[in-house]
Structure 1
Amino acid sequence: MVVTDYPAWPSPYFAELHRHAPPGLPLGFTSSLDALPEQPTQPGVINMHRLKRLYRGKGGQRTLPAARALLERLEALRGGGWRIVWTVHNLLPIDGGSSRDADWYAALGVLGLADAVLTHTCSDALHLARLTKAPVVVAGWGGLSVPHRIAPAPEPVRALVRRLRAAPCSVLAVGNLTSYKGLPAVVEAFTAHTRRAQLLIAGPCRDDAVATDLAAAAQRSGGRVHVHTDRVPPEQVHRLYRAADVALCPYRVDSQWEVFTRVLYPGSVSTALEFGTPVIAPELPPIAEMTAGCPAWLYPPGEGPGPALAAAEAAARLPVRPRLRFERAGSARWRAVTATYRQVFERLTGANSTSSRPGRGSVTAFPGQPSGVSRPPDSTPPQPQAEKVFHA
């Protein structure tokens, strides 16, 4: 059971997970732990994803009492026979204000209860192995893929595609327009370091301050920056990436976002790579790992993308043909991710106890995990154990 309280169901990520689920993986989705029986009728796995909406008080804020209630509920479910797995996209919430004690309490508490932890990259796994006694499994990653049935593009999307194709060098930043991307500063760097490139920033913005600062920065760009603050339908995103010369995927690492230097699943990078679009992004460990062997300009975290943008502009248009190789690999990557989910499910539940011995690179046997919540937020985590990290 995948537990995630996503506001607009299904999210693009979970739609891909469901689409590529292999036979033998009985995948279900629920928005709340309260929907699960304490004693399942058959062996089951609770797969946690984004935790931040699962420990909110009556006012909608993340609170320490709500975090304690979350862990107590998980512990009861675990005592009733459920196994607990956390797929870690980000260690802490990355928007909606600075991290609180409640966030650390929830994150470390779930790591203490987990029977296994899943990550998308090896770099994330190596850090998380310091924080949990559970085995850490690298499942790999995948981004948005081209839908089987491609719907006609609505006029707003066609207009964005025309803008990208008309530019001498088109740079695309698509997704939620949030504080952790530092977009106003990115626009200033773009304006200062490029001369003829055009930048399209597209996606919804729920932060009025970000929207105001971004509009002001775009106005100072001399018409080379266009901001589209409506949501681009996920099934249409591939049109923008195919039309763009390069994808800009910025992440801040100052203040509360310093945690990105340790754990980060950069969904914008994975989606750009899915369509073979060259990437400009900070050289954070998971991004460097994911872009290895792909066309990319990585810049030092915290220093801004200006020089990388200038280099991309100088390179002008890259050949389109090599991109098709990446698109064909997209489904294979998702199949590898969901095959790992199935392996973890079988290992934790004994659902395939008669199967042959795993080959090299498979998830090995999981050690027993004591019940109870371990390590409050101010305690010292265990030391890294490399043998706990498996690349499935």
Structure 2
Amino acid sequence: MDTIFWPLEAGSLVLKNRIVMAPLTRCRAGESHMPNALMAEYYAQRASAGLIVAEATMAIAGNSAFWKEPGIYSEAQVDAWRQVTDAVHARGGKIVLQIWHGGRACHPLLNGGITPVAPSALAIVGEEVHTPEGKQPYTLPRALETDEVPDIVAGFAQAADNAIAAGFDGVEVHGANGYLIDQFLRDGSNVRDDIYGGSREARAKFLFDVLDAVCERIGSDKVGLRLSPLNGFNDMRDSDPVGLTAWLTARLGRFNLAYLHMMRADFKGEQQGDVLAAVRENYPGVVIANMGYTPEEAKAAVGAGQLDAVAFGVPFIANPDLVERIELGAPLAEANPKTFYSDGPEGYTDYPTLETAHA
């Protein structure tokens, strides 16, 4: 049997296979940011994954970047998430919650007119955000004051605590894709001159503070981290992404995380480099990789020991039984991008499995 179907221990998480469902923003939580029964059905359908990483979820109120994404900052949200975690666990699955702060990717139209915050007062250019008034350009954020940062760190720790209370098996700290932690890490978005800006050590301080706080709150064996040093999404750049990756991953070992989830490429195809080689050379723990893997490439990478697991994103949208299809060598259904962020079950819970398609 291919090693991708072997179990994997990742901290306290025991995965039944090495096929991971990547976090996928689907905007089904409504304007109240409340998890619901439809979301429970969607995630439960995909419980054959070795691990589900639930979508980017607001750690702190007032920081919406996707209009209808869920939150984990209120008691009501904690209660509502339990229907999701219970449904996944009932199907024998494991699920962690990706906790997130959008930073400059937030928008006043999504947050009661509040100006977004960021490491530096640099706006996202060349991209637009979904709002109740249609797609809009991003606005200029204000730079966080130094003494404001610890409150955000505390918000991440509380979100992790809330996730465990909601029944999640752990959390994934979102340090990727041009959101707040990533904005601090990369020199194209962080031009601060205080303890959180300048050198790599200073730019990484916010991430390390978040990891320290979250690991102390729920245990490092329940904490994963996602990084995307090459990804240009949300107008992101770093002058030396491979160097940043090598430096950063050499220092992540001290946290004893459950896993490191690396995005290996750039959505836009503009920034190039082998970040996975830098990770393997410097990081001692479990590594999950993501972005554009075919089932064959994933099997080969895991079989060769280059990776411990592979995360699939879009293929899990249209193939709730992706694990079974890969095991059988069956064809994969194609997802409809027009329903990625729409309302309701269409393009969400109505994709058939092989079994139902041939019934």
State the TM-score, normalizing by the size of structure 1.
Answer: 0.29
Calculate the TM-score normalised by the size of structure 2: 0.31
RCO higher in structure (CA 8 A, sep ≥6): 1
